[in-house]
Structure 1
Amino acid sequence: MISRREVLLAVGATLSPVTVRARQAPSLSEVLFDPALPVLGNAQGDVTIAEFFDYACPYCKVLHPHLKQILEEDGGIRLVMKDWPINGDLVSYASRMVLAADRLGHYAAAHAAVMELTAPLSHGRIDNAMRDRGVDVAEVRDALDVHLEAIDALLLRNQSQARALSLPGTPAFVIGTSLHRGALEPDQIREAVAHARKRG
């Protein structure tokens, strides 16, 4: 019997000329079910999508409203957001602040606020966008002080997994047991979800 780990590795090997060696690759559970990951959609959904993303990634921003629509259409999707801040210190700041907001129960609002920014990121724009969504930035900063070590450990795990899976950048997805090393159109995401359900 092929394990879920082997399925992920086999799919990864077919999608890239760079073969991921088993001893380096994370398990499917590590990618999809890290308990520190924020979850959107149905936490008990039958199909999990993990998106490796960056708050300054233009493709991630374009896809954001489509992902929201897909979650609304399909109540069975569990979406986990895997911050991979590869575009500089401001993205790292955004990731830390939004993940700290998650500790206060405000992840969805904070994530949408920063993802929907159209102007270039700055500390002030990130903070103001969160405030405009009703998130208390002072409380978020306090939470960040308390949880910084755990948040940075999560960011490091995401980065290590992205490198082990030979991801070239953001966005990238794991949908069910399938690895997609690049941007997808909304209909491709729907098709991948349907395929994941067929595979069970």
Structure 2
Amino acid sequence: MIRFAAPALTALALLAGPAQALDLTQMSDAERTAFRAEVRSYLMDNPEVILESVQLLEQRQASAEAKADFDMVADNADAIFNDGFSWVGGNPDGDITLVEFMDYRCGYCRKAVPEVQQLLEQDGNIRFIVKEFPILGEASLISSRFAVATKQVAGDDAYEQAHTALLDLQGDLSDVVLRRLAEGLGLDADAILAQMDSDEVTDELSKTRDLAQKLRISGTPTFVLQDELLRGYLPVDQMSAIVTEKRAAE
């Protein structure tokens, strides 16, 4: 007996007609044995059926997962696109919105920076939102606390500068390093460092973490492009193609 017999039977049942057309529970032992022999013989003569059935099942699973992602985005749209605290860049009045859940210590997040920037510059009509989602350890959390504190103390322009600097920063983080970073950007280092451990910063990060859990996001970067979840790094040409599809569908 081949190992694929059980999965193949399941797949063949999915491809068959109505369930009442074949009731295995009403077969005698002899009929069931004969039926199994026929199925085995058919699969041995047509092994490609197994691959075809598995591919069909995978397609159905992928479709179900994609629908679940669309539903999650729709159910959490306000928190994703209008939370009132996440930094908004690109074209704030753009007809397409791209949201990125990111971590400063994520290599693929850093790799995505020039790709996203190229997309925003080439298109010119994309609203871009950054969600601080530190999941890679203490250094990630410190970086996000510094970035959020900078935004709360000094505003959006200062946040954008700090965000870019943190993505370029190498090595360990310390108060000395963060102070130099803030001072290098012409910011009030004392105020920002004092704000880092505030309830306001903690609350903002907690809300984003809760949102990520609702969206079943466990890795970075994860993007929300209009109504669709895109899990993982994507090069600019793929993102641009999806943007074109979204506009054509409107």
Normalising by structure 1, what TM-score?
0.80
Task: Find the counterpart in structure 1 of residue 113 from structure 2.
Answer: 64
Work out the percentage of aligned pairs sharing the same amino acid.
Answer: 30
After superposition, the Cα gap between the structure-2 partners of 1:83 and 1:23, relative to the gap in structure 1 and judged at 3 Å, is closer
Question: Would the alpha carbon gap of residues 176 and 121 (structure 1) be closer, same or farther in structure 2, given more than 3 Å must change?
Answer: farther
Give the counterpart of 1:96 among 142, 145, 154: 145
Q: Compute the RMSD of aligned alpha carbons.
A: 2.7
Cα gap change, 1:42 to 1:89, in 2 (>3 Å): same
TM-score, length-scaled by structure 2? 0.65
Q: Is residue 2:94 matched to residue 1:48?
A: no
CA contact (8 A) 1:168 1:181 kept: no
2:51 matched residue in structure 1: none
Deviation at 1:94, TM superposition (A): 0.9
* Alignment-derived partner of residue 23 in structure 2: none
Which consecutive residues of structure 1, in runs of 5 or more, have no partner in the other structure? 1-12
Aligned amino acid, residue 110 of structure 2: K
Greater helix proportion: 2
Aligned to 1:114: 166
Separation in 2, partners of 1:33, 1:18: 22
Q: How many residues align?
A: 185
The structure having more radius of gyration, on CA atoms, is 2
- Do the aligned residues in 2 keep the contact of 1:98 with 1:111 (CA within 8 Å)? yes
CA contact (8 A) 1:15 1:179 kept: no
2:100 aligns to what SS in structure 1? Answer: strand
- Distance change (3 Å), C-alpha of 1:92 and 1:26: farther
Between 163-172 and 57-66, the greater mean CA deviation after superposition = 163-172
Please list the CA deviations of residues 112-138 of structure 1 after superposition, one character each: whole Å capped at 9, or x if unmatched: 000112x23412444433433333322
The answer to whether 1:177 aligns with 2:224 is no
The separation in 1 between residues aligned to 2:119 and 2:73, in whole angstroms, is 32
Query: For the residues of structure 2 that align with 1:156 and 1:26, how far apart are their CA atoms?
Result: 19
**Unpaired segments of 5 or more residues in structure 2?**
1-61
| 1:154 is aligned to 2:174 | no
